[in-house]
Amino acid sequence: MAAVVEEKGRPFVLQELELEAPRPDEILVRMVAAGICHSDLSVRDQYVPVPLPIVLGHEGAGIVAAVGEAVTNLQVGDRVLLSRLTCGVCPDCRGGHSNYCGSQGVLNLSGGRPDGSTGLSRRGQPVAGHFFGQSSFATNVLAHHNNATKITPDLDLTLAPAFACGVMTGAGAVLNGLKPEAGTSIAVFGCGPVGLAAIMAARTVGCTTIVAIDRTPSRLDVARELGATHGIDAAAGRPAEAVHALVPGGVHYSIDATGVAAVARDAVESLRAGGQCGLLGVSAQGAELTLSQPQVALRGVGIRGFPSGLAEPDVLIPRLIDLYLQGRFPVDRMVTHFPFEAIETAVQEAASGRVLKPILLFD
């Protein structure tokens, strides 16, 4: 059973599909849970064009049910969390910088394997899949062994998807990208899962001033629970000015987790001289960001993107799970569970802002 998007912007429809057996480098995973991410909805609405019909989902957690003959790092019965797929053999992948893998587009967003095939079909006709190497909105999933991270039995698998894409990106941007020193200040623009993960990570490394900025009061309340020391209502005026009022001179670090150009500019303008801004949100193709050239040049601020939080999933995901198990990274505060059959309800609740991180549960 899989959730299929038939046309641009249309609802997910549960359908019975045929699934191939794993190829030599693939695994078959029986899904236990799958997160819904904004990226899934962007693809459904074709802001990111992919072939349709397609099965989406890229935050799957489950149990390995079969392995291809060439797979040596996993075995039947392993508990795994699926994330993005990279080639594993290019210089960037081999050098520990898989976020820059040049094959990511083909591997994650082409609607099939690199050879153009798909393991999904309906009455003999191919259905696009292999989204982020998994297409985890389905009861059973074909994945590549490269995008499966084995996880500890101490973690409830129904919570595991919360550690994938968005949380990995937000936390990784702080831990691997900005690397703030203890006692410094940071402003996080956008308090969805990405921004909240950045806030939690900032607290774990000892940032003493953590400013959360959002237009939704309930999200600011959650941000405070998770570590923010201050909250700013973005609807009340220019957020950059409000940040400077709180932190004279500006903050050491900032993050834009919205992908909105005007917000990204506020994130840059909230910095003190020599500050660093991480851009995590992704705008529609062709969007442009306008900045004050003298401000950047004369004040020495730095602006950088951190794709997937510069995270190597096999390294960062276990680290974040350990922090959670220690009570220091409470991702469960963001999660709301839905049965797989209620995927459209989950999508609508997330789009409305009433739910932060919807996770689908499979029987």
Of 38-42, 85-89, 117-121, 301-305, least confident by mean pLDDT is 38-42
Q: Give the predicted TM-score (pTM) of the model.
A: 0.94
Domain total in the chain: 2
In a domain, 161, yes or no: no
Residue 115: pLDDT above 80? yes
CATH at 214: 3.40.50.720
Q: What is the pLDDT of residues 314-353, one digit of tens each?
A: 999 999 999 999 999 999 999 999 999 999 999 999 888 8
Residue 214: phi and psi, rounded to 5, are -160, 165
User: 105 and 175 share a domain?
Assistant: no
Q: pLDDT band for position 357 (50/70/90)? A: very high
Residues 12 and 136 in one domain: yes
Here the CATH number for the domain that contains residue 74 is 3.90.180.10
Average pLDDT over residues 48-62: 94
Contacts 24+ apart (CB under 8 A), 320-326: 320/163, 320/167, 320/168, 320/171, 321/151, 321/152, 321/155, 321/163, 323/204, 324/155, 324/163, 325/152, 325/154, 325/155
Give the pLDDT score at 352: 83
Q: Which domain holds residue 243?
A: 168-308
Instruction: Please say whether the beta carbons of 152 and 84 come within 8 A.
Output: no
Residue pLDDT, tens place only, 221-262: 999 999 999 999 999 889 999 999 999 999 999 999 999 999
